């Protein structure tokens, strides 16, 4: 143990009753701050993971747009499954009511394997569609009902009218992601080719990456392998605004919860200033014995760490335990009909723990440094003459 | 002739309250060699403590030169001054100034800890034995008598084997018996360790132990005839 540690420990022990109220509040403040930040970040992580999972479940990890063959892609390592697709703006006609939708023609045989869709009914076969529950609700349709679909831009040259197809609703899905349940209609590639007259080739291929492969690495591999006429997007690129909004939300949460640390730091600074005055003479004695200014500063900082650091560590431990307990026992329920899970999701990442520790200790160090600075620079003769 | 440890040349020091300027030391010059005891006698308020604070680098002076162990202190920065205070100077204060949170032995060891030297507990125990405080080593300052505190303060001043010991009225708060004991001890230390000792006092009896005896009057130092 360094001598500064010994001195700060003894000084802390002897000044336990001085400024204990502010000291206690700074300790509680740091603890509450750490706890709140860990819990808030882990809830955000939980919901973000849920959204990521749903987005990836609907779109895959990567999307290649352009004329590309399925074989070129599947040759690469790290690809779990691919889904070729055609996508158009389409219209669902129901009497005089018309709704604009996104028609996505896919390989229906692989649909259940590729998409993670909570589906009521069956995956569509030829002459069938699967649509989102919001869209079905607006149309007043259910599984087994008929609808008429067409793609307005794919007009037939002979009559100037697009081909219309009467199709049966085989399934209704509910993703609860963005407006997908109100927009998307899945159909088979064969039906797609009949509807989309203007261009019968594939629009792109969705790719699901194997769990041990990094999406960004596979994306660069694909960009290197495929020619310039195709573009590769990751699921993050496709949902850039959502991903950015979630990042911004995280920064906002961290900033707002840091205010708890700020208030605790003010309390700590008040307590440390009080102790600094009480220890003025002792500091003078130490400096007369040759203790350098930076050692005095260290002593004050360690005293601050000793007070508020304890609170931060307790808050940190309780925060982690709380998250673990929620994941284990699911104490806080959420409505499963909205979120598809029963309990509040919480996920802790190491980087978040580092952020919490870093912010809390930065506040403690700053408060101790500022309040101890004057004391460390006091003239020795003035300090020695100081009467408590 | 011993090695020159301390040289103060024409040191001036004054305090100002904005309007009036009070001159505390005027052309204060003093030399101290290894093995010498120098006593400075003066009335209260004559500037003894200020002089000792300046010699010990605890206070700054307005003009003049101060050399400790061959190094001019006015050109040193704060870190270098701290090192000089720790390694070359030992202080014995009138009010002992022991750290109340530490036991007698810990107080004695403190200069070594600050110096980050290897554990020197054996030497500290030797010193405490010389001071006759072996059975009081684990007691805290509040559990010691005035005389015992003075002896702990002396042991602490000697801990880093400094070349110069500055004692500011070390007997000022002691009864005659304890004062005589402390003076004998300082004489003994001077013989054993060959340190230069500069001691201030207002007691003529104590001043008599000095190889060189000075009188400080109105900020000016004069040699006692």
Nearest CA in chain B to A1: B113
Cβ-defined contact of A288 to B56 (cutoff 8 Å) = yes
Q: How confident is the model at residue B98 (pLDDT cuts 50, 70, 90)?
A: very high
Whether the per-residue pLDDT at B26 is higher than 80: the answer is yes
Domain boundaries of chain B, sorted by first residue: 4-223
Cβ-defined contact of A287 to B82 (cutoff 8 Å) = yes
Cβ-defined contact of B97 to A291 (cutoff 8 Å) = no
What's the confidence (pLDDT) of residue A17? 67
For residues A235-240, give the mean pLDDT: 88
Cβ-defined contact of A290 to B100 (cutoff 8 Å) = no
What's the confidence (pLDDT) of residue A158? 59
Nearest to B97 among A285, A293, A295 (CB): A285
Q: Which of A215-229, A292-306, B46-60, B152-166 has the lowest mean pLDDT?
A: A215-229
What's the confidence (pLDDT) of residue A367? 92
What's the confidence (pLDDT) of residue A180? 87
What's the confidence (pLDDT) of residue A40? 94
More confident call, A38 vs A196: A38
Is the torsion defined by CA of B172, B178, B180, B182 positive or negative?
negative
Whether the per-residue pLDDT at B225 is higher than 60: the answer is no
Other CB atoms within 10 Å distance of the CB of residue A159: 8
* CA distance linking residue A220 with residue A262, whole number of Å: 43
Q: Quick one: what percent of chain A has pLDDT higher than 90? A: 34
Whether the per-residue pLDDT at A200 is higher than 80: the answer is no
Inter-residue contact B124 to B108 (CB < 8 Å): yes
Q: How confident is the model at residue A2 (pLDDT cuts 50, 70, 90)?
A: confident
Element holding A47 (H helix, E strand)? helix A20-59
Here the ipTM equals: 0.92
Tens-place pLDDT, residues A270-321: 888 888 888 899 999 999 999 999 999 999 999 989 888 999 999 999 999 9
Nearest to B85 among A7, A289, A295 (CB): A289
* CA distance linking residue B13 with residue B15, whole number of Å: 7
What's the confidence (pLDDT) of residue A379? 86
Whether the per-residue pLDDT at B223 is higher than 60: the answer is yes
Q: How confident is the model at residue A375 (pLDDT cuts 50, 70, 90)?
A: confident
What's the confidence (pLDDT) of residue A185? 93
Cα distances (angstroms) measured from residue A274 to each of A15, A214, B180, B220: 10, 54, 41, 41
What's the confidence (pLDDT) of residue B224? 67
* CA distance linking residue A85 with residue A104, whole number of Å: 7
Cβ-defined contact of B85 to A384 (cutoff 8 Å) = no
* CA distance linking residue A299 with residue A4, whole number of Å: 5
Q: Quick one: what percent of chain A has pLDDT higher than 70? A: 96
The average confidence (pLDDT) of chain A is 87
Whether the per-residue pLDDT at A388 is higher than 60: the answer is no
Tens-place pLDDT, residues B42-80: 888 888 889 999 999 999 899 999 999 889 988 899 899
Selected for mutation to probe chain B from A289, A306, A385, A386 (highest B CB count within 10 Å) is: A289
What's the confidence (pLDDT) of residue A159? 62
Please give the backbone phi and psi of residue A226, each rounded to the nearest 5 degrees, phi first: -90, 155
Nearest CA in chain A to B86: A290
CATH superfamily for B4-223 is: P-loop containing nucleotide triphosphate hydrolases (3.40.50.300)
For residues B185-198, give the mean pLDDT: 86
State the nearest Cα–Cα gap between B35 and chain A, in angstroms.
22
Contacts B98 to A, Cβ<8 Å: 285
What's the confidence (pLDDT) of residue B20? 85
Contacts A287 to B, Cβ<8 Å: 82, 85
Residue A95: both structure tokens together: 């009497």
Nearest to B58 among A286, A291, A380 (CB): A380
What's the confidence (pLDDT) of residue A42? 95
Q: How confident is the model at residue A12 (pLDDT cuts 50, 70, 90)?
A: confident
């Amino acid at each position: 143990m360094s001598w500064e540690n010994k001195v700060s420990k003894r000084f802390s022990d002897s000044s336990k009753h001085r400024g204990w109220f502010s000291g206690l509040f700074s300790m509680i403040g740091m603890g509450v701050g750490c706890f709140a930040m860990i819990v808030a970040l882990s809830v955000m992580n939980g919901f973000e993971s849920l959204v990521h999972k749903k987005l990836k479940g609907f779109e895959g990890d990567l999307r290649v747009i352009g004329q590309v063959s399925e074989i070129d892609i599947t040759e690469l390592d790290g690809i779990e499954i691919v889904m070729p697709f055609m996508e158009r703006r389409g219209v669902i006609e129901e009497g005089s009511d018309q709704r604009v939708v996104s028609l996505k023609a896919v390989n229906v045989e692989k649909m259940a394997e590729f998409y993670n869709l909570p589906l009521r009914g069956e995956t569509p076969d030829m002459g069938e569609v699967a649509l989102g529950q919001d869209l079905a609700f607006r149309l007043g349709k259910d599984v087994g009902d008929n609808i008429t679909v067409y793609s307005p831009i794919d007009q037939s040259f002979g009559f100037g009218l697009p081909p219309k197809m009467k199709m049966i609703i085989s399934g209704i899905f509910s993703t609860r992601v963005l407006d997908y349940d109100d927009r998307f209609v899945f159909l088979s590639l064969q039906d797609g080719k009949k509807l989309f007259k203007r261009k019968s080739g594939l629009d792109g291929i969705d790719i699901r990456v194997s769990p041990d492969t990094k999406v960004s690495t596979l994306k660069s591999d694909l960009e290197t392998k495929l020619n310039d006429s195709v573009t590769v997007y990751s699921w993050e690129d496709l949902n850039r605004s959502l991903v950015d909004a979630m990042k911004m939300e995280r920064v906002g949460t961290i900033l707002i919860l840091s205010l708890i640390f700020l208030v605790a730091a003010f309390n700590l600074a008040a307590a440390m200033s009080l102790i600094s005055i009480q220890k003025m003479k002792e500091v003078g004695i130490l400096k007369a014995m040759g203790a350098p200014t930076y050692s005095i500063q260290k002593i004050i900082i360690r005293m601050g760490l000793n007070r508020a650091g304890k609170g931060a560590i307790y808050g940190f431990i309780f925060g982690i335990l709380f998250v673990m307990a929620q994941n284990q026992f699911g104490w806080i329920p959420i409505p499963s009909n909205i979120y598809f899970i029963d309990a509040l999701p919480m996920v802790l990442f190491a980087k978040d723990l580092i952020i919490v520790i870093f912010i809390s200790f930065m506040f403690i160090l700053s408060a101790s440094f500022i309040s101890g600075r004057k004391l460390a620079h006091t003239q020795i003769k003035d300090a020695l003459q100081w009467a408590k | 002739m011993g090695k020159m440890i301390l040289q103060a040349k024409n040191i001036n020091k004054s305090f100002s309250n904005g309007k009036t300027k009070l001159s505390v030391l005027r052309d204060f010059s003093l030399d101290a060699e290894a093995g010498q005891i120098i006593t400075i006698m003066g009335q209260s308020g004559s500037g003894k403590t200020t002089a000792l604070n300046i010699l010990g680098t605890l206070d700054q002076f307005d003009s003049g030169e101060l050399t400790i162990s061959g190094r001019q202190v006015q050109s040193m920065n704060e870190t270098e001054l701290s090192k000089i205070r720790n390694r070359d100077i030992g202080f014995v204060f009138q009010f002992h100034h022991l750290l109340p949170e530490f036991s007698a032995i810990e107080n004695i060891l403190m200069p070594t800890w600050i110096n980050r030297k290897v554990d020197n507990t054996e030497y500290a125990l030797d010193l405490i034995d010389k001071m006759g405080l072996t059975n009081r080593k684990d007691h805290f300052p509040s559990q010691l008598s005035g005389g015992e505190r003075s002896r702990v303060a002396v042991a602490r001043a000697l801990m880093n084997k400094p070349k110069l010991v500055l004692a500011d009225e070390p007997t000022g708060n002691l009864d005659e018996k304890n004062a005589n004991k402390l003076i004998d001890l300082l004489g003994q230390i001077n013989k054993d360790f060959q340190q230069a000792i500069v001691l201030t006092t207002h007691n003529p009896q104590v001043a008599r132990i000095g190889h060189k005896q000075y009188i400080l009057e109105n900020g000016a130092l004069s040699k006692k005839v």
